[in-house]
Amino acid sequence: MQGVDPAWLPDGAFRPIGTRRTLIRGSGPLVDTVHGEVADACARFGGSVSREGSPEPYDLVLELTGPGDGEAFAFERGDGRTTVTASGGPGLLYGLFHVVRLGDTAFQGSHDREEHRPDVALRMLDHWDNVAVHPVMGQVERGYAGGSLFWEDGRARGELLGRVRAYGRLLAACGINAVAVNNVNVHETEARLLTDRIGEVAAIAAVLRPYGIRTHLSVTFAAPMVLGGLSTADPLDAGVRGWWARTTARVYGAIPDFGGYVVKADSEGQPGPFAYGRSHADGANMLAAALGPYGGTVHWRAFVYDHRQDWRDRTTDRARAAYDHFVPLDGQFAANAVLQVKHGPMDFQVREPLSPLIGAMPRTRLAVELQATQEYTGQQRHVCWLGPMWSEVLRFRPEESAAVGELARGGLVAVSNVGDDPFWTGHPLAQANLYTFGRLAWEPGADPGRILDEWIALTFGPRPAAELHAVLDGSWRTYEKYTAPLGVGWMVQPGHHYGPSVDGYEYSPWGTYHFADRDGVGVDRSVATGTGYAGQYAEQWAEVYESPDTCPDEVLLFFHHVSYNHVLRSGKTVIQHIYDTHFEGVAEVERAREVWASLAGLMDPARHARVAERYEEQLRSAREWRDQINSYFLRKSGVGDAHGRRIY
């Protein structure tokens, strides 16, 4: 699309297909999409595409073998011909993009038949987009890439077919198959998308459908009151249930393949079942009952905690909240109700342990929620490729029997980092996070470094591959080094969450404290002397986290309050670790910025310039983090830096 960055689908990525002869067999809307893609490529590069089998030789055959909607495909090459077969339209589309990723190698030598299928059925992006610009949160809550892709001037965009179609194409090319089009905090205007404005959602769904993407909607639990004029939203009230059933029937009238509802209830001020003395299972099951006849799903978020805590109250621990609320409800949720759990117990900090809820509810379908939008990881002004963090989360084994990627039977979800910015994600390198999420959701056990290389090769071509890999691969650990240390989190400026403020949340109602004093820092979450949070894990992890001697360094301050002279497993004291990592983090940003500068001339100048400009801000901000954190801890502890470096 004109004026919009092609991201990981530049024209050149289609050259290997566009210069060859392709036969497409089968019919249906997604086969038409596949045909359109190949025909466009051939128009650009001189190849040919046919839908009739004639005796002439073909280089590529894309064949739909059944009427289904499956996502699997098979790939093979022999006798000079590459073949993709699939029994469902989405599978054929994913097979096409597999060929795009392979490039020329798809057409060289021979390849044994390989079967590909996603490990996770639902791979979803949640957009925190408001239709109307919110006075505090703007149009996209925690959005760092401009306005919304879907909504403009209070309505669905007029030119949906351009940008949203290009977006759907990018998502299909990395394996995403579901999108929720509005914010989980559902304000007044957005509530009406469910009823009189459902036509606008249907228009978006129509544009995404040819790319195998189903549309979901965030709804307010109070909808029967705010939209239906009822006096209650009690999930056990017959009138309320009837209202949801009728409303949901109309939604499916407008969008027959509608995916379902996303609900943030009794969380940060949103309405929910607690007001009626009902449980979250009661609330979720009511919506599941309304969606069930149409094959829809309710994604019920587990982000429930007390956001009005008194900081003096040491008995309440926000990290415990999701487990305490939801584990007793295991087994009570309907089959089409999915509990959507943030990967960590707090809120998308640069480092958190895994949420103990994951693995603790064997009779409930869980979806794991990640955050692509970089709320706490540099807000798309800093380079922070989250692939290694997500991969650690997905490969983590809460119990020996299964990894998180396998326990996420209800899907993998990421909060989107996309907006109407010409580079989609504000920071052009943040595109790597979106791409990586899609590919990891398809295969949670995949090596993230391989996915990064795929993204680099598609987006930039072969030239700067090694340098780009180096710049991105370590960027999450670099970010971790210059921000809050050893898993303690927060220390950000309140409200917008950008930049350091060590005590910004220390006396706030949000339950986000580090408890630094002159002797030490960290939160005692042990069973023996602390909040007991460590005991929410299965035995093997509960034991590891319980003692500072066995607790992994990177989450030590999440689980324990220790003295500044406590010796880490690395052999360093906590205070020296803080100083060293903060100096190192800034030095790593300085080096990455130089590497980036050396790549000018190897890519589109606008893209190079946008990243170069953001590196200036990242470096300024990293220095600010380093100096505030180091000065704060020097002043608190009185312990100097062993290397005598400058601390203020």
Active site residues: 268, 347, 375
Tokens 């398809």 belong to residue: 442
Least separation in angstroms between CB 138 and ligand GCU: 11
- Tokens representing residue 397 in the block: 């084994």
Count of beta carbons in the 10 Å neighbourhood of residue 554: 20
Q: Which residues pair with 180 in a beta bridge?
A: 126, 216
Give the burial class of 91: count Cβ atoms within 10 A of its Cβ; 0-12 exposed, 13-18 middle, 19 or more buried: buried
Least separation in angstroms between CB 409 and ligand GCU: 21
Q: From the list 5, 37, 59, 141, which residue makes contact with ligand GCU (rule: CB under 6 A)?
A: 141
Q: Which residues contact 539 (CB under 8 A, 6 or more apart)?
A: none
- Tokens representing residue 529 in the block: 């002397």
Comparing CB distances to ligand GCU, the nearer of 74 and 265 is 265
Q: From the list 184, 251, 521, 622, which residue makes contact with ligand GCU (rule: CB under 6 A)?
A: 184
Helix H or strand E encompassing 377:
none
Residues 349-388 touching ligand GCU, rule: CB under 6 A, are 375
Amino acid in position 9? L
Comparing CB distances to ligand GCU, the nearer of 185 and 425 is 185
Strands 73-78 and 297-301: unpaired
| Spatial distance between the Cα atoms of 468 and 456, rounded to a whole number of angstroms | 7
| Spatial distance between the Cα atoms of 210 and 196, rounded to a whole number of angstroms | 25
Compute how many residues bind ligand GCU; rule: CB under 6 A.
8
Binding mask 288-327 for ligand GCU (x = CB under 6 A): ---------------x------------------------
| Spatial distance between the Cα atoms of 168 and 162, rounded to a whole number of angstroms | 10
Least separation in angstroms between CB 553 and ligand GCU: 26
Comparing CB distances to ligand GCU, the nearer of 58 and 303 is 303
| Spatial distance between the Cα atoms of 320 and 305, rounded to a whole number of angstroms | 9
Comparing CB distances to ligand GCU, the nearer of 303 and 437 is 303
Least separation in angstroms between CB 215 and ligand GCU: 20
Strands 111-116 and 60-68: unpaired
Count of beta carbons in the 10 Å neighbourhood of residue 269: 10
Comparing CB distances to ligand GCU, the nearer of 130 and 630 is 130
Q: From the list 71, 347, 454, 546, which residue makes contact with ligand GCU (rule: CB under 6 A)?
A: 347
Comparing CB distances to ligand GCU, the nearer of 142 and 318 is 142
Contact, 340 vs 300, CB < 8 A? yes
129 counts as binding ligand GCU under rule CB under 6 A: no
Q: From the list 177, 182, 185, 380, which residue makes contact with ligand GCU (rule: CB under 6 A)?
A: 185
| Spatial distance between the Cα atoms of 625 and 583, rounded to a whole number of angstroms | 10
Residues 462-521 touching ligand GCU, rule: CB under 6 A, are none
Least separation in angstroms between CB 493 and ligand GCU: 13
Query: What is residue 464's DSSP assignment?
Result: T
Question: Nearest Cα to 483, choosing from 384, 413, 394, 399?
Answer: 384
| Spatial distance between the Cα atoms of 453 and 471, rounded to a whole number of angstroms | 12
Contact, 358 vs 341, CB < 8 A? yes
Comparing CB distances to ligand GCU, the nearer of 141 and 420 is 141
| Spatial distance between the Cα atoms of 624 and 639, rounded to a whole number of angstroms | 21
Q: What are phi and psi of 28, to 5 degrees?
A: 135, 165
Q: From the list 123, 142, 560, 626, which residue makes contact with ligand GCU (rule: CB under 6 A)?
A: 142
| Spatial distance between the Cα atoms of 341 and 412, rounded to a whole number of angstroms | 10
Tokens 């600010």 belong to residue: 624
Comparing CB distances to ligand GCU, the nearer of 141 and 480 is 141
Least separation in angstroms between CB 36 and ligand GCU: 37
Least separation in angstroms between CB 126 and ligand GCU: 9
Comparing CB distances to ligand GCU, the nearer of 137 and 275 is 137
Q: What are phi and psi of 319, to 5 degrees?
A: -60, -25
Least separation in angstroms between CB 515 and ligand GCU: 21
Rounded to the nearest 10 degrees, the angle between the axes of helix 465-473 and helix 574-598 is 160
Comparing CB distances to ligand GCU, the nearer of 305 and 385 is 305
Contact, 374 vs 321, CB < 8 A? no
Instruction: Indicate the SS3 state at residue 432.
Output: helix
- Tokens representing residue 74 in the block: 């098979």
Least separation in angstroms between CB 185 and ligand GCU: 5
234 counts as binding ligand GCU under rule CB under 6 A: no
Q: Which residues contact 404 (CB under 8 A, 6 or more apart)?
A: 343, 354, 358, 359, 368, 393, 394, 395, 396, 397, 398, 444
Residues 5-44 touching ligand GCU, rule: CB under 6 A, are none
Amino acid in position 92? L
Least separation in angstroms between CB 264 and ligand GCU: 5
Strands 411-415 and 520-521: unpaired
Comparing CB distances to ligand GCU, the nearer of 133 and 402 is 133
| Spatial distance between the Cα atoms of 224 and 216, rounded to a whole number of angstroms | 19
Contact, 629 vs 500, CB < 8 A? yes
Least separation in angstroms between CB 271 and ligand GCU: 14
Strands 260-263 and 297-301: parallel
Least separation in angstroms between CB 268 and ligand GCU: 6
264 counts as binding ligand GCU under rule CB under 6 A: yes
Query: What is residue 640's DSSP assignment?
Result: P
Comparing CB distances to ligand GCU, the nearer of 303 and 460 is 303
User: Which residues here bind ligand GCU, judged by CB under 6 A?
Assistant: 141-142, 184-185, 264, 303, 347, 375
